[in-house]
Structure 1
């Protein structure tokens, strides 16, 4: 039960991170024109790894 809750929470956080990344795209493109970069990709990759680790426990079911 706790594992299901943990997996569900990590899924919601992962999806929220993806949404924020998509919404930040115009800002990131404008910043890139100014020579700046936003650390969106590492944030999404970190959330993805966390979700995959949490979802790994469900494979045995």
Structure 2
């Protein structure tokens, strides 16, 4: 799950879609008003079978 995505993306990725290395799946945005004073950043969460998992184990 991504949070604070840019509102305008080049494409959308639907739930269950297959993505490959290099595919654009989102962009860093500034959509959270409470965080507008901060540098652009990304909240990234991986969920597998309903459980949160460490993204580092899935990104190479």
TM-score (norm 1): 0.23
Structure with greater Cα Rg: 1
Q: Which has the higher contact order (CA 8 A, sep 6+)?
A: 1
Greater share of helix = 1
